[in-house]
Amino acid sequence: MIEATGLTKSYGDVRVLTGVDLRVAKGGVFALLGPNGAGKTTTVRILSTLTRPDGGRVRIAGLDAVRGRRMIRRHVISLTGQYATVDELLTGEENLRMIGRLRRLSRSAARRRAAELLERFDLTEAARRRVATYSGGMRRRLDLAAGLIGAPSVLFLDEPTTGLDPRSRQALWQVIADLVTTGVTVLLTTQYLEEADRLADRIALLDGGRIVAEGTADDLKRRVAAHRLDLVLADTDAYTAAEAVLGARAVHRDPGRLTLGVPTDGDAARVRALLDEVDPTRTAVRTFSMRTATLDDVFLALTGRTAQTASPASTLTEPTGV
């Protein structure tokens, strides 16, 4: 459904994309993961025909994204941005009916489609309330419903759960999962590792304007290690000494909790050898535990930082709102 080859994009002297290649199969959820400034939003804007790339080519459902832009917009895609764009002065029902009319539906068809979507997104009871009275989660659901008025086959979601509380975020995850069962292909961008892990059939990790890894969540985790050994050190001195011994092998560091994480395949002999290396006197390690590797481990291993602690300087690689 989506094919991009060699995408490049610059804004002035700032290179945002440096050669992005993507292939998204029909159906399911494809997640584009990366820190602020990685180029996620620019990639989505290009794929959704809002921005022309400086170089490279995009095809959506077999149509060229430049020559077939009008056809793609009208019949194939929909885009929901980072923030809800519904009209707060109108009711939820009025918002959807207005979008339906803008999509050239008849009055009766727009009314029927609005009713269908309000029911699907659990907004029927609030349909005749002004959107100004809606919670953040309700607004996001309404915004997503508006994007489905035209029954698109490809839906772009740019950081759809930004600013939502955990309960609202999980509710929206369920909505997205339900959409996929109807045959819609979803490409979403996110900074939330749990979101990508929970929703995506395939994940591409974007960093510095290029794809640095792609695969299923399990595939990406196996690139780092099947498991992670977390060591809780006895005190600050023990933590500092262990950190020096492990060096770059430590993919997780939490000085506040005196915890270091090290990739491992789970083999008992290698775990014992690692413990002996870090704590030969058997006094430095207070406790240890094994855990399954996470996407955060992948992120750190491939980009040199966690998603939650992306360098502020990285925002310079992508202008605000791009």
> Are residues 200 and 232 both part of a single domain?
no
Is residue 36 a part of any domain in this protein?
yes
Distances (CA, A) of 100 to 1, 49, 104, 106, 252: 25, 21, 7, 8, 49
172, pLDDT greater than 90: no
* pLDDT attached to residue 248: 84
Phi-psi group of 17: left, alpha or beta (phi > 0 → left; psi -120 to 50 → alpha; rest → beta): beta
Indicate whether 259 pLDDT > 90.
Answer: yes
pLDDT, tens only, 67-97: 999 999 989 999 988 777 899 999 999 999 9
Does residue 165 lie in a domain region? yes
Does residue 23 belong to any structural domain of this protein? yes
- Asked whether residue 149 falls in the same domain as residue 261, the answer is no
Name the residue among 48, 137, 138, 148 with its Cα closest to residue 96.
Answer: 148
**Best CA proximity match to 317, nearest among 115, 22, 39, 29:** 39
**Number of structural domains found in the chain:** 2
How many other β-carbons are positioned within 10 Å of the β-carbon of residue 114?
Answer: 25
Same domain, yes or no, for 285 and 188?
A: no
| 300 within some domain | no
| pLDDT at residue number 279 | 95
Per-residue pLDDT at 228: 84
Q: Which of 221, 253, 276 is the last residue of a domain?
A: 221
pLDDT digits (tens, 9 = 90+) for 102-153: 999 999 999 999 999 999 899 999 999 999 999 988 998 999 999 999 889 9
Q: What is the mean pLDDT of the chain?
A: 88
Which of 189, 221, 253 lies at the terminal end of a domain, its last residue? 221
131 and 159 in a single domain? The answer is yes
- Say if residue 181's pLDDT is above 80: yes
CATH number for position 277: 3.30.70.100
Percent of the chain with pLDDT over 70: 93
Q: What is the pLDDT of residues 274-307, one digit of tens each?
A: 999 999 999 999 999 988 777 777 777 777 655 5
pLDDT-above-90 percentage for the chain: 60
147 and 212 co-located in one domain: yes
Give the separation between CA 308 and CA 193, rounded to whole angstroms. Answer: 9
Quote the domain boundaries for residue 242. 226-292
187 and 165 in one domain? yes
| Tokens encoding 98 | 């207005």
**pLDDT for the residue 316:** 30
Confidence of residue 217 (pLDDT cuts 50, 70, 90): confident
Query: For residue 119, what is the domain's CATH number?
Result: 3.40.50.300
Q: What gap in Å lies between CA 142 and CA 318, rounded to an integer?
A: 29
Question: Could you read off the pLDDT of 4-35 as tens digits, one per residue?
Answer: 999 999 999 999 999 999 999 998 999 998 87
Q: Would 309 be classed as within a structural domain?
A: no
Q: What is the pLDDT of residue 218?
A: 83
Instruction: Look at residues 221, 241, 275 and tell me which one is the last residue of a structural domain.
Output: 221
Q: Are residues 145 and 186 in the same domain?
A: yes
For residues 175 and 263, membership in a common domain is answered with: no
Same domain flag for 144 and 238: no
Torsion of CA 309, 314, 319, 321, to 10 degrees: -20
154 with 272, same domain: the answer is: no
Same domain for 233 and 201, yes or no, is: no
Same-domain check for residues 241 and 259: yes
